[in-house]
Amino acid sequence: MSLRWGILATGGIAHAFASDLRTAGRDVRAVGSRSAASARRFADEFGIPRAHGSYEELVADPEVDIVYVATPHPLHAANAALALEAGKHVLVEKAFTVSQEEALRLQSLAAERGLLVMEAMWTRYLPHMRRIREIVRSGAIGEVRTVWADHTQSLPTDPAHRINALELGGGALLDLAIYPVSFAWDVLGPAETVRAVARMGSTGADTEVATLMTHASGALSSTVSSSRGAGPDTAHIVGTTGRIDIDRVWYAPTTFTVTATDGAVVERGGGDVPGRGMQFQALAAEREVASGRLDPEELPIAESVAIMGALDEVRRQIGLAYPGE
């Protein structure tokens, strides 16, 4: 089933998503922006037939079945609710919301309306991640004992830039740490305890944040994220009989190696995919709607809500609050 997509907002991530939708041959029917001129430029760039000068017009468009929300973090909840209330399925850019409270409201609203609401954690849907989950579940590396990953980039230091602006949900946590934290939950299940430390920048946003989590099996996960320095951006899963090393950049299409404890290489996998790889989450969303399940196995909505709860706890521990809280 090919859904008719509407794209809400016209920033950089919306451009990447629209490009990958086109690569996958999906039906991109409309775009909406707070500016009619911006919507028209975006529509012309991607050959989208309908351009709307407001988000309200976009979600009211009868030719749109599902809306991709690509606004800054603090606007996700309101924009997603706008689409759900208009009867549209919704794919919400990660981090899903700013808080667990907001996430719970979206979960409840989607359930009431019988609609899909899904976090756009695109990494979960990439082919190499699917294969890695299969390997872990097969027991090929034994009992998983530890998981660790970094997401470290050298991003702009301008205080007005989105990554540094508290009013836009800026900081390493929601932009960067969401990837390795979600990865740890993907491999090990929910965190039972969370410990966090951080370094804060001049705007009050976190520039570095690290987590140490325990999981139900007793396994440990650790993550480190930074907006001030580019690290290896690799991830590792270590079991009692082997390990999986995911190469740079681990959360994007890349390669991985499975190595036995004795050093023998068991499998090499992964590689390039068409475009950036954001189309796989869109295909998953379409499958969910077609099946009527409305809750993807790769990332159930309850897990997105629970992860937001873990990030709430991280923020409590590091003393990070956003305006209005």
Supply the residues annotated as catalytic: 94
Q: What is the largest CA-CA distance in the chain?
A: 61
**Residue 142: which H helix or E strand, with range?**
none
Can you say whether residue 253 is alpha, beta or left, with left for phi > 0 and alpha for psi between -120 and 50 degrees? beta
Beta strands 255-260; 242-246: pairing state: antiparallel
Reduced to 3 states (helix: H, G, I; strand: E, B; else coil), residue 214 is strand
Helix 36-46 to helix 12-23 angle, to the nearest 10 degrees? 30
Helix (H) or strand (E) holding 282: helix 279-291
Instruction: Measure the CA–CA gap between 34 and 193, rounded to whole angstroms.
Output: 41
Paired strand residues for 321? none
With contact defined as beta carbons under 8 Å apart, do 166 and 325 qualify?
A: no
DSSP 240-271: SSEEEEEPSSTTSS-EEEEEETTS-EEEEEE-
208 CA to centre of own chain: 19
Cβ count near 38 (within 10 Å): 17
Helix (H) or strand (E) holding 303: helix 301-318
